[in-house]
Every structure is written in C-alpha cells, then in structure tokens.
C-alpha cells in the first residue's frame, strides 16, 4: 500500500493498479437496488479519468511527465479533492507524490477551468458522468 511516509515503489503501484482494476460491478437500475454493492471512492474517479483521457491507469499513477499523462493526473487530483474533500497529504499518498505537488495540480486545474471554456466543459462533463454512473 502507498503511504504518505513510505517510498513510492513499483511493487506498491502494481498492487494499487491490480486493486483498482477489479471486475466492474453490473449496473442495475436504482429502483431495484437501494444500496451500492460497494462504496464509491477515489479509485472510481481514477478509473473514470483514465478512461475519459484514453490512458491506462498505471500511466495515471506513474511518473510520466508528458502533457498527455500529466493533465489527466492533475484533473484526477482535482476531482478527488473536490468530490471527497481529501487532504493534500492523503492525495499525495494515493498518487505517490508530495502534498505540494497535489496542491499545485489542483491550482493549475482551477486556473485553467477559469480561462479555458472547452477544458472547463470537459472536466464538468467528466464529473457529471461520474455522478450519474455511480448514483451520487
């Protein structure tokens, strides 16, 4: 497991990716089931963000710095922060980064949302899709 005070290792990342890639739960109309089979969590946000940007989950959690990977990672950090009010140190542990990196990512996404309407609508659509898919 990745912790805030432990090192980010390939083994820990591999375990996290395996855990996040568990078989999907069948979608059943909400009238049939009152409660979800498992609680909605940050893993769902990571999975949906990776899918929306057409990248692999291990890339989202990896060390890659290319814009095709860094931007979706920043958006995932931002959405986790907005949807779950997770602390920066906790999010840093999830993504294998320092809390200051997460803070910077959230600020960058917030600023880009203010100046880029196309990006803002893409993030809003992703958030709406997540809410709709998981019944939030």
Q: Which domains does the chain have, with CATH numbers?
A: 41-133 (1.10.1750.10)
What are the pLDDT digits (tens) for 107-124?
Answer: 999 999 999 999 999 999
pLDDT, position 14: 62
pLDDT, position 17: 63
- pTM for the whole structure: 0.70
Task: Choose among 123, 38, 135: nearest CA to 82.
Answer: 123
Q: Do residues 105 and 53 lie in contact, with contact meaning Cβ atoms separated by under 8 Å?
A: no
| Residue 9 neighbours by CB distance under 10 Å | 11
Enumerate residues 6+ apart whose C-beta is below 8 A from 13: 2, 58, 61, 62, 96
- C-alpha 117/C-alpha 17 separation (Å) is 32
Residue 35 tokens, joined: 């409660």
Enumerate residues 6+ apart whose C-beta is below 8 A from 59: 50, 69
Residues, the chain: 136
């Amino acid at each position: 497991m990745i912790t805030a005070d432990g090192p980010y290792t390939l083994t820990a990342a591999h375990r996290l990716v395996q855990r996040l890639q568990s078989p999907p739960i069948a979608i059943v109309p909400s009238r049939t089931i009152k409660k979800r089979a498992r609680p909605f969590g940050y893993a769902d946000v990571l999975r949906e963000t990776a899918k929306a940007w057409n990248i692999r989950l291990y890339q989202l959690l990896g060390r890659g710095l290319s814009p095709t990977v860094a931007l979706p990672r920043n958006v995932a950090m931002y959405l986790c922060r907005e949807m779950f009010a997770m602390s920066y140190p906790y999010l840093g542990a999830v993504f294998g980064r320092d809390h200051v990196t997460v803070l910077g990512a959230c600020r960058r996404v917030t600023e880009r949302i203010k100046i880029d309407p196309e990006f803002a609508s893409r993030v809003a659509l992703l958030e709406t899709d997540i809410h709709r898919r998981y019944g939030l």
